[in-house]
Amino acid sequence: MRVPVAVKVGAFSLVVMGTYTYYANSIPQIQSKPPAELSLEGGNVTPAQLVKAGEEIFKTKGTCEICHRIGQKGTRAPDLAGIGSRAAKTKPGLSAKQYIIESLLQPGAFVVEGYPNIMPQVDKPPIALNRSEVWALTAFLESLGGTVDVKLDDIPKTAGASAAGGGAPAELKLPGDPKAGEAIFSGKGGCIACHKAGKIGASPVGPDLSQIAKIQTPDYLMRKILDPAGAGTVSGFPKGVMPPMFGQTLTAKEYMDLVAFLMTLK
């Protein structure tokens, strides 16, 4: 039987594309997730917790490891081993803490000899660390051979002011009552059955909403409550689980209270 040319060419093309696809699926799979925001302001944090949080920022959101190494000389940026003690002697007139903070917020102010002036300001987009995160990162760097003595007040209040980027939604005053909304969350709404919200709830069925106001807009939340399927499902969670009847079961006031509560979760 003579195989038509179109079939042969089609099969050949599919084999070629299939090979590329198979290979692409065989190598390490790395996603780039939007960084979660850390908020420590007003909280009681021990130095050890602060250093741990700072280490995570160093390795993730801060993207420091792209250029810096600890205990290994880099070609783009200095080795940070011992920076906690070395920093006090690097720039005359600045303590270790002051030097580290200046390096993070104004990296061009003093550049270590032999390295290019390429470090971005960490509190500005695209890295965009907030004030708490700069605090934790400073603590972590101090811990590398030095004493952790940085306080939140040492970090300028202007740090991270434009962290979300110029296109971020403006602050909104919502008409609902957050306290009443919290009660809806735990009671009538039944949200607590699937979601965690700060200290409330612990169920892993749905996404953790503890910092939802940091990453979502009020209009998204309002739509998600009324039309869960239409607003999309967060990747990694099963579709169609969230009930679609809140528009019928909640009153208008309860609905607004719930949204106001969710918008306090930062």
Partner 1 sequence: MRRRAWTALAVVALLTLLPALPALAQDAAKEPAYRAFPLIGSRLAVWAVAQLHLNFAAFILGVPIFAVIIEIIGWRTGDARYDWLSHEFVKLTFAAFSTTALLGALLLFLFVAYYPKFWTYMTSIFFPTYWVYALLFFAETFTVYVWYYGWDWLSGPRKGIHVGLGVLSNLFGTAILLVANSWVTFMISPAGIDESGALKGSVWAAINNFTWMPINIHRLIANIVFGGTIAAAYAAFRFLGAKTDEERARYDWMGYIGNFVALSAFIVLPFAGYYLGREIYAFNQTMGITMMGGFMSWLWIIQAILIGVLFIGSNYYLWLGMERIPGSERYRRYVPIMIGILAFGFMVWATPRSMVITLDEARAMGGTHHPVLGFLGVMSAKNTAVNMMILTTFLSFVLYRRANRISTKSWVATGMMIQWAALGLAAAVVVFYGVYGYFVESLVRIGFSVYQVLAVLAAIVVVMAIDIPMFRGARSTGTIRWGTIAPRSQYVLILLAVTFTWLMGLMGFARSGIRQHWHVYGVMRDNSVDAVTPAIGYAANMITTVTIAFFALVMFIFWLGGLGEKGRAGESGHAPTPVFAGGSDAGSTDESRGGRSPRRS
Q: How far apart are CA 91 and CA 61, in angstroms?
A: 27
Q: How far is the CB of 88 from partner 1 (least distance, A)?
A: 27
Contact 224, 233 (CB under 8 A): no
Q: How far is the CB of 149 from partner 1 (least distance, A)?
A: 29
**Of residues 217 and 251, the one with the C-beta less far from partner 1:** 217
Locate 227 and state its tokens: 């039309």
Q: How far is the CB of 260 from partner 1 (least distance, A)?
A: 18
Locate 225 and state its tokens: 């409550």
**Of residues 110 and 147, the one with the C-beta less far from partner 1:** 110
Q: How far apart are CA 224 and CA 246, in angstroms?
A: 10
**Of residues 94 and 263, the one with the C-beta less far from partner 1:** 263
Chain contacts with partner 1 (rule: CB under 8 A):
5-6, 8-9, 12-14, 16-18, 20-21, 23-25, 27-35, 63, 66-67, 75-76, 116, 118-120, 124-128, 162, 164-169, 215-217, 219-220, 223, 229-235
Give the CA dihedral 167, 165, 224, 60, nearest 10 degrees: 150
User: Residue 61: which of 133, 118, 132 has the closest Cα?
Assistant: 133
Q: How far is the CB of 17 from partner 1 (least distance, A)?
A: 5
Q: How far is the CB of 105 from partner 1 (least distance, A)?
A: 15
**Of residues 16 and 241, the one with the C-beta less far from partner 1:** 16
Q: How far apart are CA 151 and CA 257, in angstroms?
A: 35
